[in-house]
Structure 1
C-alpha cells in the first residue's frame, strides 16, 4: 500500500490492510530502519506515512520535474505567518505583515493544499482561522511543526540578519541589579543585594 499510494497513508488506512492485532507502530519503525540507507525512505508526515526519494538522490529527479511558478513574496510571508502562528485569522496575518492580504493569496495557498480553514474564532465577527496541512509538511519535508526552523537556525543560515532594527527589538525584563542601576534613587534600596 505504501509503495502504491501517491499520498501519505494514515495508520488507520494501513491497519485495515495488515489486520487486527498487528503491532503497526513497530512494523512502520522497522520498515523505516530497513529503507533508511536505500534510494527511497519511509518518512512520517504528521500522522501519515509515505515512501519518498532519499534526500541524497532527490537532485536526480528534480531535473525531470516540470518547472513551476514560484510563490509571490506575499504568499510566502502569509504561509510563514500561518505556519508559525496557527491557527491565524486574516486580520492577524495582516497585523504581522503590516499590509492587507488579498483573498487571492490565501486561495493560492489553499489550492496548493498547504493551508486549510481550521474553523472560526470565538470572538466578535467569528473570523475564519487558517492552519497548515499534512501536504505542507510533506512538501517541505517536515515530520511535524516542531521541525520548523527557529530564530537562531534562520540567523545561522543567513536568512535573517543578526542585527534587528531597534524599532523591532523587544526589551527584556531587567534583573534586580540592572533595575537598581537604572533607578539609583529607589527609596527601598538600602544598597545591599537581597538574593
Structure 2
C-alpha cells in the first residue's frame, strides 16, 4: 500500500500546470525563466512541458507566448503591434552618441569600449555607456582574455523584449531599428547592413 504522504508530492495534472503558467505570466510584467516558474509552482511540476502546451494553444491568437533570451512572457502578436502604437510613450530621447554606441554593441557584441571607439572613430564617454546601462539597453559581458582584460558590453533581455526577439541573433535589420526610433536615416558607422547572401552569424562572436 502506498504511503499516503507520497500524495503530497504528486504533481498536479498537466492541464492545471498550464493554467498555473498562464496565471503567473499574465500577472508578471517581466519575462520569467523556467527556474523562476518552477519556484512558484507546486513540487513535481514540469514548467517546460506546460510552457510548450501553452505556447501551442496561443498560436494565432492576439497574444502569444514568446521566448525572450532564457525567459518567457506573453506579448502582443507581432502582426498586431501597430494597434499598440498609441500606447507607447517616448519618455527619453537618446543622444546620437548613445544611438550609435547602442547600434554598434547590438551588431558587434560582445564589444569592448576600445572596439566601439574604433568603429565610431571618436571616443565614447563614460556617461553614454552609463545612460544605456541605466536604461537597461546594455549590460556588462565577460572580460576579454587579452592584456588588461577589458570588459565587454552586450544588449540586455530588455532590448530583446522591446523588439520581440528570442536572441540577439534575431536582431532586426536597420530598417526596423530606424522604424523604432533607435537609428536615424543615416546608418551609424560600422553598422552597414550585410549583403543578402551574408550570414548574420558573421556579425556575432560566441
- The two structures share one fold, judged by TM-score above 0.5: yes
Which residue matches 2:76? 53
The answer to whether 1:141 aligns with 2:164 is yes
Relative contact order (alpha carbons < 8 A, sep ≥ 6): 1 or 2 greater? 2
Give a deviation string over 1:41-61, Cα, whole Å, max 9, x none: 111100100111223333333
Structure 2 unaligned regions, length at least 5: 1-23, 178-184, 188-206
**Native 8 Å contact 2:38 2:46 kept in 1:** no
TM-score for both structures, normalised by structure 1: 0.70
Provide closer, same or farther for how the CA distance between residues 72 and 143 of structure 1 changes in structure 2, counting only shifts above 3 A: same
The answer to whether 1:131 aligns with 2:171 is no
Which residue matches 2:101? 78
Structure 1 unaligned regions, length at least 5: 162-195
Which residue matches 1:40? 63
**The structure with more helix, counted as a fraction of residues:** 2
After superposition, the CA RMSD in angstroms is: 2.5
How many residues are aligned here?
A: 156
- Give secondary structure in 2 for the equivalent of 1:51: strand
TM-score for both structures, normalised by structure 2: 0.66
**Native 8 Å contact 2:68 2:161 kept in 1:** yes
Which residue matches 1:116? 139
- Equivalent-residue separation in structure 2 for 1:88 and 1:56 (angstroms): 32
